[in-house]
Structure 1
Amino acid sequence: MEKGIFSKVFVKYPLEEAFKKIREFGFNTVQFNFANVGLPSLPSHVSKEILEQIRKACEKTGISISVISGTFNTLELDNETRKRNIKGFKNVVESAKKLNVPYVSISTGSFNQEDFWSPHPDNHTKKAWRYLLESLDEMLDIASRNEVIIVIEPEQSNVISTVEDTRRLMNHYRSPYLKVLFDAANIITVDDFGQLENKINSSLKELSEYIAVAHCKDCLVSMREVKFAPVGKGSLPLNQYLKELKKYYDGPVIMHGLAEEDVAFALKNIHF
């Protein structure tokens, strides 16, 4: 498996300097965000000059881009905002094609219009699925025309939150342009307290045929809450997770949910 990290962990640096620091830590690849070149995550325009800047930074540092973030709320209720988001997503996908990046990551959305990483009581209704599928129909058309694969991440606060949700979505589309970004921290709930390894292992087995990208994130789990923590400082058996992941997967594993000052500790304690 290839060791990677979110480029946004180093967003305060110019791109080439950020990639040099990432390389110095021993990473080979990144999940890229256009924030690293001063643009929104869903840019309204990506110039040839920006794309060339990214290419040169990769060439000079030896860092590859495994996946580009194209995340927005697929359950956006304001029509004009939704149109802008789809346009921005299209720009990300077209940029991925030009940069020879195979994957663009997305959220499956929330009816919480203030923060789509937060839950809403209607997220698991027929209405939520209808909104999600309407967005994905359009997004998959864009992805397929550019031969770029969308990777969705099961997430507790979003429409797709469980293994069962994920398989249902995959079975609905049966598309080579829709795969899974697996993050052990995002499939854990308070009900899994005391059996974290079992939950992770069973989820990996169930979703193994769909996994195209993997994350390495951590969280603190109690009977009351699941709270994200820097990698290596939470409750998850991350080394066991990575060992199990290797049975099914040999692609990029992207660290995130940590600050630059947490990276050395994470690398000391987590073994890829």
Structure 2
Amino acid sequence: MEFDPHRRVLRPYGAYAFSTFPFANVQSSSCLPEDQYETLSATFPEIACFPQNGSAADRAVLRIPSSRVLAEPGFSEAWKWFVEQHTAQAFWLQILETFGPQLHAGFQQIERRMGRPMKRWRVARLGSGEPGDVYLGCDLVVNTGATGLASSQDKPHVDPATRLWTGLLTLRDAADAAAGGDLRLYRGLEGLRFDAHRAPRNGVIHEVTARYAANAFIGFVNGPQAIHSVSMRPSTPHVRRYVDLVVEMDRPAFELPQMHPLRRSWFRLVHRQAGR
């Protein structure tokens, strides 16, 4: 495989579906060129490479940060190249080309505070220790298999308030026939209040599903409206494989309206009793 610098998940010649519903997102069911995807899939790290307490952890989220991929010799050249491409200034500019209006509208106060347009912000790799206005991460992640009842890896929630943008490239194994693992996008109802970053199910409506599939991608602008979750996976020995692409800041970029303390106590009690 030739390492073409334009072969990023938001490559100029890609086939994408852009939507502002229920919040700004872009999806592709065939994200990367087939030869590039096959090389990345074939050299995706084995579960033993992920930091954990043994390989039998049930429904655990295990991740390898981009800094480790670049620093250690055990990762393929294809993955090192992929991480470099997606933590560089050029990728931030591609994100702005796709989501510029939504990013400017959602974070205009930050742009004014910076005193310069987003396209001139300094980009640093997350975890590099280098100074930056925004920090790009590209982590390799697995949700481990399960032996018990079906469960969700997550509940309706918004990503951390330090995050401006999230991208998810899924690498489903051909042998994995289990249902679930899809990313669900929600619309929040009027008056919605959060428990930290979690949203109550009766305060959101499921609107869009991004299927967990091989070579599939979804990217979206983060914020109070960007409510999402992962659908239930049944008992399965297969891991859910994906790349977590993020744009972070070193301080919160927005605030979420919070539940009244009494409401929060009731919300947590109900979910604890339900085992969710």
After TM superposition, is the score higher than 0.5? no
Which protein shows a greater Rg? 2
Question: Greater strand share, 1 or 2?
Answer: 2
Question: Greater helix share, 1 or 2?
Answer: 1
